[in-house]
Amino acid sequence: MRILLANDDGVHAPGIRGLYNELSPHHQTYIIAPLEERSTTGHSLSLDRPLRLEKFDETIYGCSGYPADCILMGLGHLMKNNRPDVVVSGINRGANLGQDLYYSGTVAAAREAAFHGVPALAVSLVFDRVNEEHRYHTAAQFIKWCLEFELHKACPPMTLLNINVPNVEFSKLQGAKLTEVGFRRYSEEIHARIDSRNRDYFWIAGLYEGFDSNPDSDCHALNEGKVAITPHALVDRYERDYTKLRQVIERLNAKLFA
């Protein structure tokens, strides 16, 4: 199949390169990703400035814009006459759980694809400490199996799949679960400081304080060591029937985690 990869960590990020290395031997795989990190930029679009593309390889491009710009550049320019069968955004460096998906550039890229009728997955690697080993290969292998089992085709229209993978070796995963969007609690701290010219400046310093207890949430699934697969419906007029998704996830569990 034809796969378009994007992210918000940048075209040279290890997550997207690990995903590309896993998928490209089996599928026609392209990368269009930001030239610089665009984390937590949400669904920004560059409507007030031109976009530029930098070609690194026949199938790898960097874009001067935001994650959603990268998808539009793919659908409207580079892959205009040969549209992708699926968009995979990631692998993000860190979780996109609960309401954090609304801030995420990774999820925004998948959302933009879904708006244009292309099945889309957003995938993130969830870890506790920045300095721990990042096992992108685990998430990449899981996504390869998701595509093999055509998980993206089981997703209803105008819906993306937000997938969060624990940062463990593949053999340590406790399965995959269809989940709901949870809620993560953060403090409301703002740190006020003074610069060398005696001017005030501020840092948003909210600290993570845990998640609300809901056994069906993405947060709870990760706490159990499971991959959380969370449908995110974008338009209310479409029926939210996840029967096919559940069936595919059951098959994945039977194949990978039995």
Residues 93-104 pLDDT 10s: 999 999 999 999
Per-residue model confidence (pLDDT) at position 204: 84
Per-residue model confidence (pLDDT) at position 6: 98
Residues 92-135 pLDDT 10s: 999 999 999 999 999 999 999 999 999 999 999 999 887 889 99
Q: How far from 176 is each of 12, 100, 112, 119, 245, CA to CA, in Å? A: 29, 20, 25, 20, 12
0.85 exceeded by pTM: yes
Residues 4-47 pLDDT 10s: 999 999 999 999 999 999 999 999 999 999 999 998 888 999 99
Q: Assess contact for 127 and 10: CB atoms under 8 A.
A: no
Reply yes or no: is the peptide bond before residue 91 cis, omega within 30 of 0: yes
Burial code of 35-60, b = ≥16 C-beta within 10 A, e = fewer? beebbebbbeeeeeeeeeeeeeeebb
The pLDDT mean for the chain works out to: 94
Averaged pLDDT, 171-175: 97
Is the per-residue pLDDT at 189 higher than 90? no
- Superfamily for domain range 2-184+213-256: Survival protein SurE-like phosphatase/nucleotidase (3.40.1210.10)
